[in-house]
Structure 1
């Protein structure tokens, strides 16, 4: 189980996941458009292990906390969901127990949008980036930082097996191959 708080908001429950990742159809994975870096890693357990779609591999940090995963985009993107795969049964004291999610234009102005407490997590953990306002379902950002603040059983290094970042689909019309931005194109885009 996990609890989360958003900018001083009361903590609420977040469900543990399982080995099968299920996300809504109106979301797309944005991680492939980003430059990924980590604060530290053991040889062979770096960023590539976070992105290889293999639940047997993992990023293993090798340094002092907080342990950081930095995700930087070339242009401002809309992000809605961060999904982590962690496994307390396999990783024990390497399992993150407190995570902070920060967004901003770069390292100089990161702002914490979510803090999450994890209690023996095992599987995919879904963390929504929505703010206090229910109309805010996403954040616009150039950079997303995931900080591991503490580990289960006061462990020093962390294991995170996968991280995926999702944003909303650009095309508001389902099953249409193009996204038109001008009123004229939208008007004549359908054949009657």
Structure 2
């Protein structure tokens, strides 16, 4: 699934609830769908990302493959966001209706506005066939489109029509 959105995953410090030897947190962002993070322990399993600063987040993409991972594949994804781990609020609860075999994109917004957060918590409360541990092959945190990011940085209105330019200054 090609994307015009920038991947801002590298702007964070990642941690996980648990992992099995050889299947740690670095496998979540190594750009390979052949590796995976595997949790180890009691549910819910989670991944947390503490970003460098408060950032606008357009979506989260996860690579899940039930064909390879079977009952290790999550069927629920709970996304929470905030400024730290102490004030996270639920942003989105996803119930996967179809068995995932590739990228799953979860678009995020805060009551219709783009989500801005410094801390993300991605929880996996349940798996297909009541599996206990989780396999997640990749996670990407996607920023806003380049035009929107430029607008936010420069605070310049991105309108170029004649109708708009008639009203762009005071008399």
Scaled to the shorter chain, the TM-score interval is: 0.7 to 0.9
1-structure distance, mates of 2:106, 2:2: 13
Gaps of 5+ in 1: 1-20, 174-178, 183-192
Q: 2: distance between equivalents of 1:181 and 1:97?
A: 40
Name the counterpart of 1:149. Answer: 125
Question: Alpha-carbon deviations, 1:46-87, whole Å to 9, x = none?
Answer: 111111111110000001111010010121111011000000
1:36 to 14, 25, 38: 14
- 1:100 matched to 2:86: no
Cα displacement (A) at 1:180: 4.2
Q: Distance in 1 between matches of 2:31 and 2:55?
A: 23
The residue number in structure 2 matching 1:163 is: 139
Encode CA deviations 1:16-44: one digit per residue, 9 max, x unaligned. Answer: xxxxx322x2x211110100100100011
Shift of 1:131: 3.7
Q: Give the counterpart of 1:78 among 50, 53, 56.
A: 56
Matched, 1:120 2:90: no
**Alignment size in residue pairs:** 153
Q: Would you identify which runs of 4 or more consecutive aligned residues in structure 1 move more than 3 Å?
A: 179-182
**Structure 2 stretches of 5 or more lacking a match?**
157-171
Cα RMSD, aligned residues only: 1.8
* CA–CA separation in structure 2 for the residues paired with 1:65 and 1:151: 10
